[in-house]
Structure 1
Amino acid sequence: MEWDDLLREYLGEFGRFQKITAMLVIPVGITVGLNFVAMTFLAATPEHHCQVFGNASSVGHRYQAEGYNLSVPLENIGGTWKQSSCLMYKESNSTTTPGNETTACTHGWEYDRTIYQSTIVTEYDLVCMRSWLKGLGQSTFMVGAGLGGIFFGTLSDRFGRQPTTVLCLLLHLALSTGASFTPDYVSFIVLRALDGAAANGAIYTAFVLAVEVVGPSKRNAVSMAISLSASVGYFLLCLLAYYIRTWRNLQLVQAVIMTPLLCYWWVLPESPRWLISNKRVKSARDVLRRAARVNNVTIPDDVYTSLLTTSAESNEAKKRFTMIDLLRTPQMRKITVTVCLTWIFVTGVYYGLIVGTTDLAGDPYVNFALGTALEMGLAVLGWAVMERFGRKPVIAGSALLAGIGCLASAATTGLPTVSRNFALVGRVVNAMSFHCLAAYTPEVFPTVVRSTGMGIATACSRIGSMLAPFVTLLGDVWLPLPMLTFGVASCAGGLAVCLLPETLGLPLPETIEDVENLGREPHRKKDKDKSVTTSALSCYLNEYVYEALEHLALSYTTSYYVYVHERVPTVL
């Protein structure tokens, strides 16, 4: 007996046991989501100008003083004349007209503390020629997140979902707390990088656990709920940042709020699907019996025997799997680059626009909260549409629309309000593709390497999120350039999705052989809970279009990032 058959016929696809497990995973998504975008406010850059009075302890009245205005030259920024943030006249005199010669700030900077009392930028002067260090902080965090996804994903496939999740949460708490007490910027970004590894390991391992215990008909809903929990974390971050205007206190608070999650060592169950795949017979039986009691159902003893025997007879249950197995077979190799590129583009634009919306005209807290609210609404809409029309059209279409929004924002930089609105449209529509892609990912990995594959897929996504902070700095070169870059990248991601197959209504693959056979079986029984129209259409298109692109995908197989996927069956 297969696992999905047990869920449908005996345990239930979404009983009380599965609901409790999903609810336990959602707080992990909230705390990790908060941490992933914390640099939006921790490293916010307020208005700043050269210090010309010799003492920056009090900005107050001097920030708008007439003498100050005479000491700092004007610059044309995006068609608007503003006082320079990085230059001053060589000889400052508050009562005379200054000369024309300018120089870089020699006495530091004065910061407008109307919005932010203290940020990493103001404490370490990460502006002007040092502004690249701000992007380095977020980029190193994403590098850590990518490496952590690979490492802890492999660890999870080897030792289990539950212990790996708890280990990551413990490390996340310790490292995130330590970052609030760092004496210098170097130690801060080192701890943040390690924290990124732990945080990413926690959310994706827990994500896989939740997806593995629910049935096919509810899997996408659970995936979307966990993905959206990160957006709840964004709201929480915005609320905390509004009331906590100093970066050290904000960093500390956003760390300690996850302390209750350490109880997961006792309350979070192990994935029975993983236990079965790894021949942990006694443990699998214990978890299934507990789940049956919670769901108030009875599983006959012969069902346990059949389920465990099926797993034991599998050739793939007798070996251990590594990242190499994700590249070993043609079908899995063929998918690697396509999904790798999709994650790079979609995630890079996603995080770039989250940071970028706080730099737009208007209140940064309002912009951030508004973008998050719209993001959540469209993500829910995306989930509903995916359930009816499939994964591919939703992900590809939303990515392309987001790209158009970003390009429109770049074209209207001379109209700040219009540009901001287009940027917000780009952000929220891109968020739909991001959340839908996150829900789509676990559906295409076989159980034996699902966590490893998820880890590598997210590691690939961190390339884009690592580059995003530096893309936002391109506005110093040419104001429309960041949005132009994000627009092109989002469109590229949408086009890349067109190379992927549809998975609507299909059970999760258990073995690598299942993945290989998915694209080679012209006629298979479709999940009875889904309508046939969309799947048949998707298969028809795949049958005549997908193979034409096979050679193109195969030419990139040297990449070590992997995204396994499956194809929709033809339905007669």
Structure 2
Amino acid sequence: MAFEDLLNQVGGLGRFQILQLALIFPSFMLLTPHLLLENFTAFIPGHRCWVHILDNNTVSDNDTGILSEDALLRISIPLDSNLRPEKCRRFVHPQWQLLHLNETIHNTSEADTERCVDGWVYDRSYFPSNIVTKWDMVCDYRSLKSVVQFLLLTGMLVGSIIGGHFSDKFGRRLILRWSFLQLAITDTCTAFAPTLSVYCLLRFLAGFSLMNIISNNTTLSTEWIRPQSKALVVILLSGALSIGQIILGGLAYVFRDWQTLHLVVSVPFFVFFLFSRWLFESARWLIITNKLDEGLKVLRKVARTNGMKNAEETLNIDVVRSTMQEELDAAQIKTTVCDLFRHPSMRKRICILLFIRFANTIPFYGIMINLQHVGSNIFLLQVLFGAATLIVRGLALFTLNHMGRRISQILFMFLVGLSVLANTFVPEEMQTLRVALACVGISCSAAAFSSCAVHLLELVPTVLRARTLGIDLMTSRIGAALAPLLMTLTVFVTTLPWIIYGVSPIIAGIVVFLLPETKNLPLPDTINDVENQKKLKKNQ
């Protein structure tokens, strides 16, 4: 934790930190559109079977000109239990006798029906084209949409595991730059995917890089910030994700074609890759990994940028070595992921943090991936959710600074659970109330994420911080993948998935009490620092 002394000498929150955040902030804003693209590119439009008598352009106008389109539809498509045209079946032969039935009478005919063997006709009022209409992901192939989303989440899961290890080994900046380039290439190529299989592969690779960008941007930012301002930085970065939701709603409304939308959100990452060359590597990581010369060089550059001329003159290898001697000695012992679970204090912290992340992710994605089912105007809902999460994340900054890390998480997690449970018993006809409660749930869940992120960064040592973030994000991806699977429980009890969504964050909020408070404490650099924090707390 002695690095805080060096950071104070070069400036813990000055011109350098502001410029660094200015370079990172735009990339964070455009990450959310990549995460939630399938809300629009895989939107399932209204559809019905293609029928020869109605949709064949070669049929002579004289053959059916005396009948309206509604009449032709009625004799071609059977009605479902809600007296609406079936989406996935059609009559084998036109049922002319149905023209003589009253429109309010349900179709009780036992006429032969068949699947949509000739394809589908889609309602293109929302989107002229997307991946659902391109590859006919409806009816028997409707589950393909879940496959696409699952592969994206799987890519994020794998990326969080591998990326965290590489970041602790090769540095935050290198892995971040590579991830920028990978995301730019893969999601740009996705717009031109010739088959669904290629599309899924590219989205998997995009998900791989998404997690690395989130974790390395966060780590690179917070490791250059003084303890008193870490909450502010994390909230700003998470607020950028909320702004990204708003941006996605606007972009999807303007660019209705899925290929254009992909290009609009992907091409800017080539620019972020080029600008990332001006990002500075974490001096904290450089010193802990025994790269003292590089660490000293970066510290001097930061001091110069922040106008700390005296620090630039007095900083040298001997000063760095003497200040960080204890941490350097501890860092000589090779650390692995197993060290997170080998030491009692670390094991307790990690297990609790992972459970909290998992329990909060389930309701968040339970709401977000069901955006189409919350309301009819998905563009407005996306913007509304983004605005709500942005406002409540701002509130999280206030609670983190004045109430502490633990109380903030407990407050927001209880609000998430209660809002989801309340929404479970609101009738579907009360759409306004349901949307309002969904906004409360999604925004408080986002604020809980931000609070948990601040707490995690302050509980985990530098030598294992990136790997811990990777494991934490991996746990988040498991929760995200589980969220849609829980919806299958509706076959037993229709409200059971939503009850689980509501109960899980409440339990996690209770478990937060087992973690220590870290408000205004310096970041630990080694596992010994974590153990010393525990001893210090006992002495107090």
Query: Aligned runs of 1:51-200 on 2, under 5 Å?
Result: 51-53=50-52, 65-75=70-80, 82-89=84-91, 91-93=93-95, 96=98, 99-100=109-110, 103-200=114-211
* Corresponding residue number in structure 2 for 1:394: 408
Identity %: 29
Choose 1 or 2 for highest CA Rg: 2
Tell me if the contact between 1:279 and 1:312 (Cα under 8 Å) persists in the aligned partners.
no
Pick aligned residue for 1:334 from 333, 348, 366: 348
Cα distance between partner residues in 2 of 1:156 and 1:177: 25
- The change in CA–CA distance for 1:305 and 1:523 in structure 2 (over 3 A counts) is farther
Superposed, 1:313-392 pairs within 5 Å as 313=326, 314-392=328-406
Report the Cα distance in structure 1 between the residues aligned to 2:95 and 2:500, rounded to whole angstroms: 42
Partner Cα separation in structure 1 for residue 208 and residue 110 of structure 2: 50
Aligned residues: 519
CA distance in 1, matches of 2:55, 2:279: 51
Report Cα offsets for 1:297-316 as digits up to 9, x if no partner. 12153675233234344332
Would you say the 8 A contact 2:248–2:382 is kept in 1? no
- For structure 2, list consecutive stretches of 5 or more residues without a partner in the other structure: 58-66, 102-106
CA distance in structure 2 between the aligned counterparts of 1:473 and 1:53, rounded to whole angstroms: 36
Between the aligned partners of 1:141 and 1:441, the Cα distance in structure 2 is 25
Q: CA RMSD in A?
A: 2.7
Distance across 2 between alignment mates of 1:182 and 1:423: 34
Q: How far apart in 2 are the matches of 1:56 and 1:278?
A: 68
**Mapped partners of 2:68, 2:271: distance in 1:** 44
* Deviation readout 1:377-419 (Å, 9 max, x if unpaired): 0111012111111122222222222222222222124324133
For normalisation by structure 1, the TM-score amounts to 0.84
Residue in 2 that maps onto 1:528: none
Q: Matched residues in 2 for 1:441 and 1:215: separation?
A: 16
Matched, 1:306 2:322: no
Report if the CA contact (8 A) 2:89-2:116 is conserved: yes
Q: Tell me what 2:26 maps to.
A: 27
Q: Which residue of 2 aligns with 1:438?
A: 453
- Cα displacement string for residues 130-187 of structure 1 (whole angstroms, at most 9, x for unaligned residues): 2222112111111111211221211111111111110111111111111111111111
Q: 1:461-494, CA deviations, whole angstroms, 9 ceiling, x for partnerless residues?
A: 1001123344457679876555344223333433
Structure 1 residues 483 and 127, CA gap change in structure 2 (3 angstroms) = farther
Distance 1:71 1:498, change over 3 A: farther
CA distance in 2, matches of 1:57, 1:330: 71
Q: What amino acid sits opposite 2:197 in the alignment?
A: V
- 1:236 & 1:283 partners in 2: Cα distance? 38
1:513 matches 2:531: no
The 1:420/1:91 distance shift into structure 2, 3 A limit, reads farther
Look up the equivalent residue of 1:4 and give its one-letter code.
E
Measure the CA separation in 2 of the matches of 1:480 and 1:35: 30
State how 1:247-266 maps to structure 2 within 5 Å: 247-266=258-277
* Partner amino acid, structure 2, of 1:332: M
Rate the CA distance shift 1:166–1:237 in 2: closer, same or farther, 3 A. same
**Deviating more after overlay: 481-490 vs 139-148:** 481-490
Q: Are the structure 2 counterparts of residues 89 and 57 from structure 1 closer, same or farther at C-alpha, using a change threshold of 3 Å?
A: closer
Instruction: Say which of 289, 294, 297 aligns to 1:286.
Output: 297
Residues 345 and 51 from structure 1, CA distance in 2 versus in 1: closer, same or farther, beyond 3 angstroms? farther
Amino acid corresponding to residue 474 of structure 2 in structure 1: A
Q: Distance in 1 between matches of 2:438 and 2:69?
A: 31
Distance in 2, Cα, partners of 1:29 & 1:412:
35
Residues 1:92 and 1:57: Cα distance change in structure 2 (over 3 Å): closer
8 Å CA contact 1:231, 1:372 repeated in 2: yes
Name the residue aligned to 1:207. 218
- Which whole-Å CA distance do the structure 1 matches of 2:80 and 2:496 have between them? 18
Amino acid across the alignment from 1:499: L
Partners of 2:171 and 2:358 in 1: CA distance: 28
Corresponding position of 1:11: 10
* Counterpart position of 1:40: 39
Unpaired segments of 5 or more residues in structure 1? Answer: 525-569
Tell which deviates more after alignment, 511-520 or 168-177.
Answer: 511-520
1:33, distance to aligned residue in structure 2 (A): 2.0
